[in-house]
Amino acid sequence: MTVTHNDNETIIGRAEINDIDAILEVPLVDPNEIEHVVKNNADSIFTWDYSLQRPALRKLYEKAKTGQWNGSTDLDWSIDVDVEKSVQEDQALIGTGVDASMYIGTPVEKWGDKEWLEFGVESRNWSLSQFMHGEQGALICTAKIVETVPWYDAKLYASTQVVDEARHVEVFARYLEEKLGGEFQVNAHLRMLLDDIVNDSRWDMTYLGMQVMVEGLALAAFGFMHQFTNEPLLKKLLRYVMSDEARHVAFGVLSLKECYDEMSDAEMKDRQEFAFEAAIRMRDRFMQQEVWERMGVNVREVIPLVLADPTRAVFQSMLFSKIVPNCKKLGLLDRNDKWLRHRFEEMGVIQFEDWADTGEEYLNFELDAPDVQPVAGD
């Protein structure tokens, strides 16, 4: 089965994945917007079968009960965060994440240390803001899963994840408010993805969109930031959040494995397309439109360069290092004549397919495990 431009048009709303005009056509979310309503279109399902059917999920449930932590008392909020110093140290270690020589002919070409630092500070704020908004997405999605998943063992587990996600929103919101002094609005592409996930009536799509795609990306992004930042409060906060997230991704992989092994090719095609759409939205999000805008740079001028920037490409592809192996484990890569494999090849992320999948990996992330190797594939 070959993908035609028509397929792309239907799935992601544009024929070419790098169509800059189409990417920029999605309007930025109004920073003054307070409420956003989405129809969740789903049935709430009771089950009267309370027997133990899925020991692996029950084991995760037990892990979740003992893995709880308290965002107010387990983190030291008295730590004074010097964000400029912290960003400067990170930039000295891993650079700005941007290859400055790529931006000739734009205002970025003339940036000095002051502007790069400002860009770094805004980017830090933007990333943590998107983490926070994504966490709220996870809070809403897992509350939905409690209602919609037909399995008792999964309802029990999902309920613990609701509490985990509340705690994640809480700690990111507090860090942004107390230590960074404000936040960015939700990124337009991230909001579009969250809307699509919540909109879908099929319970497994909530799992696929949130647990596998959004949380898979979050786990890789948190891992990256955790590994490189020297800011002690942020480092510990991320480490604690990751111990929960790894369990969440495992929950998604274990549940969907059972569900997808039974599915027809046509049903699987829908899931492959949804995974591709989610991957594209997340890639679009990482162009950081809101940050460029705040820096006073014309996004139309700079985004084509961002897309072609090799430094960003490396960083961005790392974000898929959890998603691709998990998709492989679920059979999503190769069903229907390797449909999703070809899409991931086109996106330049297929190289992660044999890295550790999170169905097995979550024990490495527990709080008492030896130090995490978050972005290496083990």
Residue closer to Fe ion (CB basis): 138 or 333? 138
Shortest gap between Cβ of 130 and Fe ion (angstroms)? 12
Residue closer to Fe ion (CB basis): 122 or 135? 135
Residue closer to Fe ion (CB basis): 204 or 215? 215
**Residues present in the chain in total:** 378
Residue closer to Fe ion (CB basis): 287 or 323? 323
Residue closer to Fe ion (CB basis): 200 or 215? 215
Residue 135 near Fe ion by CB under 5 A: yes
Stretch that binds Fe ion, among 21-29, 110-118, 148-156, 245-253 (CB under 5 A): 245-253
Under rule CB under 5 A, which residues in 247-266 are in contact with Fe ion? 248
Q: Could you give the CA distance from residue 11 to residue 346 in angstroms, rounded to a whole number?
A: 15
Give which of 96, 183, 89, 94 is closest to 132, Cα–Cα. Answer: 183
Stretch that binds Fe ion, among 113-121, 163-171, 267-275, 337-345 (CB under 5 A): 163-171
Shortest gap between Cβ of 8 and Fe ion (angstroms)? 29
Shortest gap between Cβ of 167 and Fe ion (angstroms)? 8
Shortest gap between Cβ of 193 and Fe ion (angstroms)? 15
Residue closer to Fe ion (CB basis): 250 or 302? 250
Under rule CB under 5 A, which residues in 195-224 are in contact with Fe ion? 215
Q: Give the one residue of 133, 155, 168, 328 binding Fe ion; rule: CB under 5 A.
A: 168
Residue in the block written with tokens 């005009």: 21
Residue closer to Fe ion (CB basis): 17 or 128? 128
Q: Give the one residue of 57, 60, 128, 138 binding Fe ion; rule: CB under 5 A.
A: 138
Stretch that binds Fe ion, among 56-64, 119-127, 159-167, 251-259 (CB under 5 A): 159-167
Which residue intervals of the chain are DSSP H helices? 5-12, 20-25, 55-66, 83-94, 113-148, 152-175, 188-199, 203-206, 215-228, 232-261, 265-285, 289-294, 299-308, 310-318, 323-329, 335-347, 358-361
Q: What is the DSSP string of 212-259?
A: IIIHHHHHHHHHHHHHH---HHHHHHHHHHHHHHHHHHHHHHHHHHHH
Q: Could you give the CA distance from residue 25 to residue 34 in angstroms, rounded to a whole number?
A: 22
Q: Could you give the CA distance from residue 249 to residue 247 in angstroms, rounded to a whole number?
A: 6
Q: Please answer whether residues 255 and 248 qualify as being in contact, where contact means their C-beta atoms are separated by less than 8 angstroms.
A: no
Residue 144 near Fe ion by CB under 5 A: no
Q: What is the DSSP string of 67-116?
A: T---TTTSS-TTPPP-HHHHHHHHHHHH--SS-GGGGTTSGGGG--HHHH
Residue closer to Fe ion (CB basis): 224 or 339? 224
Stretch that binds Fe ion, among 53-61, 241-249, 254-262, 350-358 (CB under 5 A): 241-249
Q: Which amino acid is at 210?
A: M
Size of the site for Fe ion (CB under 5 A): 7
Stretch that binds Fe ion, among 120-128, 158-166, 188-196, 366-374 (CB under 5 A): 158-166
Q: Please answer whether residues 321 and 344 qualify as being in contact, where contact means their C-beta atoms are separated by less than 8 angstroms.
A: no
Residue 133 near Fe ion by CB under 5 A: no
Q: What CA–CA distances, in Å, run from 260 to 140, 175, 222, 275?
A: 23, 39, 28, 13
Q: Which residues bind Fe ion (CB under 5 A)?
A: 135, 138, 165, 168, 215, 245, 248
